[in-house]
């Protein structure tokens, strides 16, 4: 729906179910295509959020269940990546593979980072923090515009005071995957 508002897309209809407009709540939580993923793995959360009107409400309820929060986050990430691949015409995994892929990703993460910080329940948004002097911090992102066959890589570098030291926004020919755009932005 945001892309329709910005006139990037002309139709807000969900490309998966083709029934409802695709907003955040629908794309990540309430699309009928995702029903089994959520019911099988988060049945209690589904029951507790049946009357939720926004994804933020779902997210707030999910953060209350600390033991399953990591798996919830990985499941969301897999759904988001699957959705983005579908939007740019890349092959996607079947919905029945979302939970196993999330489990595998979570296990890999836990092996790489056995002790990771827990974000307090009261945290609502990520806040940028400056680096310690004399370091600088580089934030980067990439986006694909498949209709034009182009991609964009964006970088901003700030010092310990948060002042911009350098910035880049570059249009490039569209690479083969979303991941590759991110890699090029990092480079």
Q: Are 45 and 58 in contact (CB under 8 A)?
A: yes
Domain assignment present for 124: no
Q: Are residues 98 and 154 in the same domain?
A: no
118 falls within a domain: no
36 and 102 co-located in one domain: yes
At which residue do the structure tokens 């995994």 appear?
Answer: 93
Range of the domain at 87: 2-112
Same domain? For 47 and 85 the reply is yes
The answer to whether residue 44 is domain-embedded is yes
Same domain, 6 and 85: yes
73 shares a domain with 149: no
Are 51 and 97 in a shared domain?
yes
The answer to pTM > 0.75 is no
pLDDT of residue 79: 95
Going from the C-alpha of 154 to that of each of 17, 122, 138, 177, the distances in angstroms are: 33, 30, 10, 16
User: Is there a single domain that holds both residue 65 and residue 6?
Assistant: yes
Phi and psi for 114 in degrees, rounded to 5?
Answer: -60, -30
Residue 121: inside a domain, yes or no?
Answer: no
Q: Which pLDDT value is given to residue 125?
A: 54
Structural domains counted in the chain: 2
Tens digit of pLDDT at every position of the chain (187 positions): 877 787 877 888 888 899 999 998 999 999 999 999 999 999 999 999 988 888 999 999 999 888 889 899 999 999 999 988 887 788 899 999 999 999 988 887 777 665 545 444 444 456 788 888 889 999 988 888 877 888 888 999 999 988 999 999 888 888 877 788 888 888 8
Phi-psi label, residue 164: left if phi above 0, alpha if psi -120 to 50, beta otherwise:
beta
User: Do 22 and 78 fall into the same domain?
Assistant: yes
Question: Based on the domain organization, do 93 and 22 belong to the same domain?
Answer: yes
Last residue of a domain, one of 47, 77, 112: 112
Look at residue 129 and tell me if it is in a domain. no
């Amino acid at each position: 729906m945001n892309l329709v508002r910005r006139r990037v897309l002309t139709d807000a209809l969900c490309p998966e179910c083709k029934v409802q407009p695709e907003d955040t709540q629908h794309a990540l939580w309430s699309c009928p295509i995702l029903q089994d993923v959520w019911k099988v793995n988060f049945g209690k959360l589904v029951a507790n959020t049946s009357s939720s009107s926004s994804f933020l409400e779902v997210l707030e309820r999910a953060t209350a269940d600390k033991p399953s929060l990591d798996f919830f986050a990985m499941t969301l990430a897999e759904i988001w990546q699957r959705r983005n691949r579908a939007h740019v015409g890349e092959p996607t995994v079947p919905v029945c593979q979302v939970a196993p892929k999330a489990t595998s990703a979570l296990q890999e993460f836990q092996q790489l980072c056995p002790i990771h910080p827990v974000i307090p329940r009261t945290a609502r948004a990520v806040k940028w923090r400056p680096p310690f002097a004399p370091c600088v911090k580089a934030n980067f992102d990439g986006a694909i515009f498949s209709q034009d066959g182009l991609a964009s890589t964006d970088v901003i570098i700030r010092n310990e005071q948060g002042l911009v030291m350098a910035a880049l926004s570059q249009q490039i020919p569209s690479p083969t995957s979303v991941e590759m755009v991110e890699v090029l932005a990092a480079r």
